[in-house]
Structure 1
C-alpha cells in the first residue's frame, strides 16, 4: 500500500471523529485549574497544574485541526451531527473548552487568555441561541431529554467562571447576562431531564456516563456565581452541597463494570472537575478539615479517573477502534 493511500485512509477515518471528544479538553483543563487551586489550599506544586494545562492546550489544537479537516472533507456528516437532537448539544464542549483554556492560558499570557475568552464567549452565546431556538420548534421526543441537553446552558455559566476577573468595562454585564441565561436554561432542562429519568426508559448504556453532567449546573453555577460576586454566601454554599449530593447519588449508578468504555465516558470529566474546583474553593472559604478532606478525596478521584480515561482513549485510538464507523 502506497504512502498516499495510507494518508487517505487516515484522513477518511476522521469522518468518524466524534465532537464529544472535546469533552476531554474540558476535563483536563478543569484538572489543571484544580491542581493550581490545590497549590493555594494545600501548598502542592504549582507546576503540576501548568503541565496538565499544557497537555490540555495540545490536545485541543490536535482535535481542532482534526475536526477542521473533518468539516472540510465531510461537511455533511458534521451538519448531521450538529442537527442530531442529542449529539448536537455536544458542540458546546468546544466552546466550553475554549473558555476553560482561557483560564489555563491567562497566567502565562494575559492578552492571549483574554482573546480566547472573547472568542469562546461569542461562540457560546451563538450556540446557546441556535440550540434553544431549535428545541422550541416543538415535537421533541421525551426520550431525547438527556443530560447532554444541559451542555449549552452550562456553557453560558462558564463564561462567568472564566471571565469573572476580566478587566474589560463591559465584562461585568456580559458575565451577568451569561449567568442569567445559564441559570434558567439549566433550571428548566434539569427538571425535564429528571422527569424523563423517572418516568421513561433508562438511558441507553452508552449515555449512562453522561448522568454525571447533572451535577454541572450546580458546581459550575457555584464557580460562576462566586467568581462574579467575588464572595461565597449561603446561596453559593447550597449550590455546592446539592451538587455534591447529586454526585454521590450518580457515582454509584455510573461507575459500574457493566458500562463499557467509550468516548462517552469523557462526559464525566468536566462535571467532576467542576466539583473538585468548587470543593477546593469552598475549602479556602470555610477552612474546615472535613471540607478539606472532601476536597482532597475529590481531587484524587478526579485525577485517577482522568488518567484512566486518557490511557484507555489512547488504547482505542492506536488499535483503530476510536475512528471506526
Structure 2
C-alpha cells in the first residue's frame, strides 16, 4: 500500500463502537415508550450508529483490497481475529435499527449479517477445536463470534417476525456462552494475568448475560419468568465485579478498548426496561432508571475520550497498543 494514500488500517475491533452506540439507541427507544423520553434521541443515535457502521465497513473493505497482508495477519491472530465476528453482529444491529424505516432494507442487511455471523462462528470455533492453544490467548473476545453473534441474531430475527428461527439462535448463543464462560474463568483463575492494555476486554464479560436476557425476552411469550430475572441478576453481579476491578483494569491510559464495556452496559440497562414494558412491577422498576443513567454515563465518557483521541490523531495508535498487547504465538 502506498504511504501517500494514508489509509487508516481499521482493525475489526473498531466495530465495538457500533455496539455501544446501537445499544444506547435501543435503550433510548425503549425509554421513549415507557417513560415518554424524547424519541429524537434514540433515532439520532440510530443514524449515528448507522453512519459509523457504514464508514467502518468501507474502511475495513479497503484494508482488504489495499493492505491484504495486514488483513490476513488479523485473521491469523489468536485474539484479534475474534473481533472480525463483529462485522456480522453490527450489521444485524444496523438492520434492527433501520427496521422502522424500511423492512425490505432491514431484512436484506440482516440476512447478510446473519450469514456472515454463522459462517464465521463455525470457522472460528472449528479452528479452536484443533487445540494446542496458548492459554494467554483465552480472553473474553471469545464470546464475540458465537455468544454475541447468535444472541443478536435471535433478537433481530424475532423483531423481523421469525420467532422459530430466533429460538434456534438463542439456543446456539446460550450454550456457547456457558461453554466459553467456563473456559474463560479457568484461564482467569489459573493463567497469567492479562497485560494492562488488554484488560479492558474484560468489559465484554458483562455482555453475555445481559444481551442474552434481551434475546430470551425476544423469544419468550407472556410476563417475565425466573430465567430472565436470573440472567439480569448475573449481569448485575458481573457489573459489580468489574467496578471492583476498575483500578486494576485502568492501569494503562485510556484506549478505545474501553468500548468493550458499552454493549453490556447498554444491554443491562435495556433488559429491565423491556421487562417494565411487559408489566413487570418488581425490583426492575427501581433498577431500570439507575441502570439507564449509568449506561448513558459509560457511553458518553468512552465516546468523549475517543473523540479526544481522534482530535489528537491518536485513535489508531491507541487501538494498536491495545491489540498488540495480545500478541501470542499460537492459534
| Cα distance in 1, alignment partners of residues 53 and 280 from structure 2 | 35
Note the 1:44-123 alignment, pairs <5 A. Answer: 44-123=37-116
Q: Deviation at 1:246?
A: 1.3
User: Contact 1:272 / 1:302 at 8 angstroms: preserved in 2?
Assistant: yes
Q: Deviation at 1:100?
A: 1.1
Query: Structure 1, unaligned stretches of length 5 or more?
Result: none
| Cα distance in 2, alignment partners of residues 97 and 217 from structure 1 | 16
Match for residue 194 of structure 1? 185
Q: Does 1:156 align with 2:150?
A: yes
| Cα distance in 2, alignment partners of residues 25 and 211 from structure 1 | 18
Aligned mate of 1:174, from 165, 179, 184: 165
Match for residue 328 of structure 2? none
Q: Which digits, 9 at most, give the CA deviation of each residue in 1:232-289, with x for residues without a partner? A: 2111211111111111111231366534211211111111111111121123345437
Q: Does 1:240 align with 2:236?
A: no
Q: Which digits, 9 at most, give the CA deviation of each residue in 1:23-82, with x for residues without a partner? A: 100110010000000112211111110011111011111111111111111111111111
SS in 2 for 1:274: helix
| Cα distance in 2, alignment partners of residues 318 and 67 from structure 1 | 21
Q: Does 1:320 align with 2:316?
A: no
| Cα distance in 1, alignment partners of residues 252 and 209 from structure 2 | 25
User: Contact 1:128 / 1:156 at 8 angstroms: preserved in 2?
Assistant: no
User: Contact 1:212 / 1:251 at 8 angstroms: preserved in 2?
Assistant: no
Cα RMSD after superposing both structures: 1.9
Aligned mate of 1:252, from 244, 252, 257: 244
Q: Which digits, 9 at most, give the CA deviation of each residue in 1:98-141, with x for residues without a partner? A: 11111111112222112111111111101110110110111011
Note the 1:19-58 alignment, pairs <5 A. Answer: 19-58=12-51
Aligned length, in residue pairs: 314
Note the 1:207-286 alignment, pairs <5 A. Answer: 207-231=198-222, 232-254=224-246, 257-285=250-278
Structure 1 residues 267 and 257: alpha-carbon distance in aligned structure 2, compared to 1, 3 A threshold: closer
SS in 1 for 2:47: helix
| Cα distance in 1, alignment partners of residues 314 and 52 from structure 2 | 19
Aligned mate of 2:129, from 127, 132, 136: 136
| Cα distance in 1, alignment partners of residues 290 and 59 from structure 2 | 35
| Cα distance in 1, alignment partners of residues 230 and 306 from structure 2 | 35
| Cα distance in 2, alignment partners of residues 274 and 286 from structure 1 | 19
For normalisation by structure 2, the TM-score amounts to 0.89
For normalisation by structure 1, the TM-score amounts to 0.91
